[in-house]
Every structure is written in structure tokens, then in C-alpha cells.
Structure 1
């Protein structure tokens, strides 16, 4: 039985906790889709350009702390949602401390081992408030987050995919995000269970109000593509009048997309969502130079302009948020959209 809702009197709270979520300031209304470290990098970049930022996050994680809490409590997996909140934390002392707190994992020989503090806090709010979005909004208030975090669906989901484990071999159905993310082989069709899951109304409204929609970077089949498998959300993205951009991954991924070129990434996305179009496809300039067909494929499949800039951090090899912010800024200005730079 779920815990009863608690009443929260805003007149008894510190002033900063009574502010509406998300915080609204200058800059375009941007919605970025994904999960995990890829979405984290995109959000850290976008928050330098706008205060009107919404993260829409996958809810199919079934591994680690999130998987354990999902199995025990039956709600949405909190891990990717926590990562997005951490990316939006204020850069002042308050934000830095709370970012470290929610990202901290316990180390013990007991049942708390490897549980994230943020996952536990989010799960507690969900039990107390009875609503995932309200709980996330309260976490955002606590963190003084520069934006809002929303789940892509109102129910926990399971990802399954047809995988060719070896070239020319039989196809095997791999079920579960954590297993698919670590399984080598060629991924074919990706599905969600339950099929045709509902989207959160708040998420649909955020997409409808957006001036910019960004998909990626991130684990292609388990963080990026699932958003296009939620029917109402996919329709909202496809039918939106907002500027749409796709941020491609860096080469060198392991397991899930280890054998995929960036052209393969585009072709697999198009196969799952053939009506989807983008205005820009963003990619690291060195990676683009290594695939001369990338510009042609981006144009033919998505009617998109290829936008290349140096995006790689020196160590470790991942997207550099400052370089990514510069790339997004130039792209938005090229499209005639002004930004609220906070460099």
C-alpha cells in the first residue's frame, strides 16, 4: 500500500524553496532528451545558454541502485533522473554540496552498499507525495536546479531488442536495459514493454511549448531511442514546430554500439522513426571527417544540416560541456534564436 500523501505548507518554507519549478529566466525554451552521462553533458552545456531548460529522461533502467529500488518499491527507476538533476545544480556552494550529496554512493557490507543518496531521496519523496513529477520538482527546489526534470513516461519500462550476437548468426531477444547495454552484437529492432506506454502530460506540454528540442548524446538504444517508442511523446516531437537537433555520440563506444559507425547510428534511428526530421545534426569535427558520407546521410534521411565543431574533452574521452555549449550557441544563433549566455 502506498504511503499517504503529506501536506506541505509553503508558508513555513525558506524563500528559495517556494519558488516555482522550473526557474524561469532568460533564454529560449529548450527540451533535451536522453539519460545517463550523455544527457548530463548536454544539460551542463544548455544551462549556460538558458534558464528555460527541461530534461526528459528515460525510465527503463533496471540495474544497480535504480534496479534494486525499482524492484523493491515498484516505482520509476530514479538513477537517470538523479543524474539530470545533478547536471542542473547551481554552481554556487549550495549547488556543489548538494550535487555531491545526491551523487554519493554508500560503501558498506550491508544492503545500503552502492545505493545512491539521491536515489533514496527521490524514492522517499515519491512515497511521501505520491507523484513522480511533484517529487522531482521538490528535489529541483532543494538543489536550486536551473531547469526541470521530467520522466518520459509515467510507468517504469523495460527495453528489449533483437540482437545478432555474431555476424550471420541467429537473432536473440535481449531483455533489460542493463543487459542490452553490456551485450556485444548487432542490435536490430528495439521495443518497450509495456508497448505503447503513456507519456506524462507535463512532458507533452513541455515539448509543445519548446523552441528547441535536442535528442542525444547517450547510449543509443537504451537512452536516446526509447523516447521515440513512447507514442504520444514521439508524435509531439515529430509534429513540433521547434528547432530540432540531434547530438551524435563520439566514436569508440563499448558493447551496445561498439560496431556502429555514425552513419549506422543515423540509419538505425531512421528505421525506428521514419517520420522524424531534424534541422541540425551535431557531431565532433574529427569524427565527421572520418565518415565522409555522414553529411549526405543526415540530409537524405532527416533533411538536416550537419553541424561540426571540436567537442571532445581531453580526459576522459567524452563530450566537453563547454565545447558543447559553444557548439549549441553557434547553432542557435545560426538559426536566429538568441541565447542567455552565462559564461
Structure 2
């Protein structure tokens, strides 16, 4: 019994001793890998270090020439004496390699301390190694110029997925919202509704999780504060400080370290209206989906609002244009009611993809198929604005469908023949997330599928 106990203790002792050793080895290996990452192409470190060394040499030669080479003469004499003294003690096959190793150690030590000092200033939280930050920064800045058009939660979901592939993102957001906190600020402050813009800024921010919680926080007490979200009030304050919403968004993007930029489709105060199949005219974005019935026509007042110049420039310079997902009539189409945006989208010769909703939306797209979504957009634009449509390829679970059926929402049917008739390519993929009990697009799957499609199309 005593022997068995001793064996077990010995095994436990060995296990405990082995684990830290393995951890230390792995940590050391990762550290060495990061050192070699500084030599990777595209970091722009080696070239500037080499230029610095050449500069030091040229400066030294210039000083020596200016002083009639006297310092160089004495330096050579001193170096020769030191080398002769070392050679008398150690043979050259030992002293040479020893000097090389010592020199490399001093260079490595000096550079490591320099990088460490820079890291403490530029990366004080030490959440990531500085080389990882630099590598990510270079990679994202080389990413394609992406324009994403939409509004609501659908656009912010898309932005979370594509921001890991590029920092050159422009989100074009509708400004037709007139409900909730945004509607109140619109009426009371005379500003454009900030709700969808707030969601996009939070989605593109580096500290996305914390900022989303902060921006989405709603006050439940306080006269005048109750019902408002912090993000809307933040943008309202920025709007008053800078003078207009475009400048307010730009200033907010700097403060929040936003990856990319967010632009309103227009700075005109537009109001949506919809004509229903039974002849009713419904005014106001928040009222359209609540009215019930089929929408046969949608417009805005005033008609033909001018586009923001920066929006048109972004579309013209884009490498990839994305539209959706989101509410068809109240988030996506309102952007296309700006004639200059429609014309710019029709002119560009780059891959253009529409991301279709997974489920129908009661009051807007009851019974719609994928081709019905395409028809609705084509009816407003009067010209094809995208080449391909991305749709969910796998059916949701029966439990999820039952819950949505109670709300009169059903999967958007993929009618392949009608999509082909409309001369659009169909991209099918599993881009769904049901982990929260709701059927939503999965940001990271969506981003991965889009960038894979883009690389093949390009």
C-alpha cells in the first residue's frame, strides 16, 4: 500500500513538474515567433532600420572627411591594437565567432529594449503584442474598398463580419427613421435620426462589445431622458458641437477608434411614405410596417433628395458593393430613393452583391421569395444595381420555425428559376445564427462567405 502511494505521488510530482516546463517552452516558442515576425515583409521595419544604419555610416564618413580623416586614422590604430591583443590571447577561430555572437546579442538586446519602450507607449494595455497590432493594421489597410448600403440591425451585423478583412469600409445609412429615441430627437432637436448610424459606429469600433453596450444603454428614468439611448444623445451632442451630422459622425469616429467610416445617404430631412395594395397611403417609416397589407409603391418627401458628395465618391472608388441585409422597404430601399446613389451604383463596374433576409418580415415582405426582393429593388431603381444575391442555403430548425410562425414570419423561399430569369447569380451558403433562439445572420460566417465570393469574382 505504501509503495502504491509513493508511485502515485511520484507520478503526480512528475506531472506537475512537466506542465510548467511545457508552458514555458510554448511561451518561449511564441516569443521567438513574434521576434521573427518583425522580419516579415510588409511591416515596413527592415527598410527603415537599414536606411538608419546607412545614415549613421554616411554621417560618420562625412565627419571623418571634414576632420581630414584624423579620427578614422586613430580609430583604425586603436582597433588594430585591440584585435592584436585579443589574437595573442585567443586564436582567430575562437575570437572571431565570439565577437560576432557578442555583436549580434547587443544588436538584438538593443532592438528588443527599443521595441519594448515603444510598446509601452503605443500599446499600454498589453492586450496584444505590438507586432500583432502592426501586422493587423497593415493587412486591414491593404483590404478592398467596401461600400455597404442599408440600415437597421442588418447593416451593423454585416459590418461586424467584414471589418476583420478590411479597414477601408464605408457604410451608407438611411436617415428615414422616425420612431423611438431617434424620432424624438428628430422632432425636438431638428437633427437627422442617429439610431442606425449609432449601431454602425458601434459595430465598426475596435472595442465593439463595450461600446455597443454603452451606446445601446437606454435611460429608464429622468424627465426628458427616459427612453433615450446613450449613443443617440452622444451623437446629438456631437451634432450640436460640429454643426451637422456628417461632421458629428467624423468626429465620433475619431473618438471611438472606428475602423472605416459611416455616412448618411443624404443630409436632407426625408420622410417615407408607402402606397398599400388597398389604396391606403401610409406616412412615416415607423408606421409602414405596422399598417399591415402589401406595399406596392414607396417614396419619400421631399422627392429626389441630393446625395452626400462623400457617398458618391465612396461608390465610385469601391472595389466591392454590398446591399442588405435588413428591412427591405424601410432600411434598404430608402437609400435608393436618392437618385444620385442609384445612378452611381449602376455606373460602377465592380462586384455588387445583395444579401437577402433569411425570414420574411411581417408588414413588409409577407410571403416574399428571393426574387420578390429583387423585383422590389429593381422597381425602385429601374435598372439592375447588383449582379448576385446571397441567400441562406439551409433551413432553420423546426423549433425556430414554430416560434416565428406564431409571428407570421416564414423562411424566404429561394426560387432559383425566377432568380435566373432576373439574370442574377445565386450564392447559397449557411450564414445563419440561431444560438440566441432567434434566426439572425451570423456576422463572421457572412463576412467569410462574402470575401470568398469576392476573391473568386475578382
**Shorter-chain TM-score tier:** 0.7 to 0.9
Verify: 1:150 aligned to 2:263, yes or no: yes
Contact 1:153–1:199 at 8 Å: present in 2 too?
yes
Distance 1:42 1:290 in 2: 19
What is residue 421 of structure 2 aligned with on the other side? 300
What is residue 341 of structure 1 aligned with on the other side? none
What is residue 299 of structure 2 aligned with on the other side? 191
What is residue 57 of structure 1 aligned with on the other side? 173
Verify: 1:207 aligned to 2:292, yes or no: no
Distance 1:96 1:217 in 2: 21
Name segments (4+ residues, structure 1) moved above 3 Å.
287-292
What is residue 80 of structure 1 aligned with on the other side? 196
Q: Which has the higher contact order (CA 8 A, sep 6+)?
A: 1
What is residue 449 of structure 2 aligned with on the other side? 327
- Corresponding residue SS for 2:427: strand
- Corresponding residue SS for 1:178: helix
Distance 1:292 1:62 in 2: 32
Shift of 1:287: 5.9
The residue correspondences of 1:29-40 to structure 2 (distance < 5 A) are 29-40=145-156
- Corresponding residue SS for 1:257: coil
Shift of 1:300: 2.8
2:162 to 37, 46, 71: 46
Distance 1:78 1:291 in 2: 33
What is residue 106 of structure 1 aligned with on the other side? 219
Contact 1:183–1:256 at 8 Å: present in 2 too?
no
The structure with more strand, counted as a fraction of residues: 1
Contact 2:360–2:412 at 8 Å: present in 1 too?
no
Verify: 1:121 aligned to 2:208, yes or no: no
Shift of 1:125: 1.0
- Corresponding residue SS for 1:214: strand
Verify: 1:269 aligned to 2:377, yes or no: yes
Distance 1:34 1:41 in 2: 11
- Corresponding residue SS for 1:226: helix
Contact 2:370–2:414 at 8 Å: present in 1 too?
no
- Corresponding residue SS for 2:364: helix
What is residue 231 of structure 1 aligned with on the other side? 339
Contact 2:392–2:431 at 8 Å: present in 1 too?
yes
Verify: 1:136 aligned to 2:249, yes or no: yes
Distance 2:338 2:432 in 1: 31
- The structure-2 alpha-carbon separation of the partners of 1:56 and 1:189, relative to structure 1 and needing over 3 Å to count, comes to same
Distance 1:189 1:330 in 2: 35
Contact 1:266–1:297 at 8 Å: present in 2 too?
no
What CA deviation, in whole Å up to 9, does each residue of 1:133-187 have, x standing for no partner?
A: 11101111121111100000011211101113xxxxx310011000112222100
Q: TM-score, normalised on structure 2?
A: 0.64
Q: TM-score, normalised on structure 1?
A: 0.84
- The structure-2 alpha-carbon separation of the partners of 1:42 and 1:281, relative to structure 1 and needing over 3 Å to count, comes to same
Shift of 1:68: 0.3
Verify: 1:310 aligned to 2:426, yes or no: no
Shift of 1:207: 0.7
Distance 1:15 1:322 in 2: 28
Distance 2:329 2:196 in 1: 15
Distance 1:131 1:297 in 2: 44
- The structure-2 alpha-carbon separation of the partners of 1:263 and 1:134, relative to structure 1 and needing over 3 Å to count, comes to same
What CA deviation, in whole Å up to 9, does each residue of 1:88-140 have, x standing for no partner?
A: 1114xxx4333322221111152211101111111111111112211101111
Contact 2:431–2:441 at 8 Å: present in 1 too?
yes
The structure with more helix, counted as a fraction of residues: 2
What is residue 210 of structure 2 aligned with on the other side? 97
Uncovered stretches (5+) of structure 2, i.e. residues with no partner: 1-120, 124-137, 397-410
Contact 2:159–2:203 at 8 Å: present in 1 too?
yes
Contact 2:432–2:442 at 8 Å: present in 1 too?
yes
Uncovered stretches (5+) of structure 1, i.e. residues with no partner: 1-13, 17-22, 165-169, 337-343
Verify: 1:286 aligned to 2:433, yes or no: no
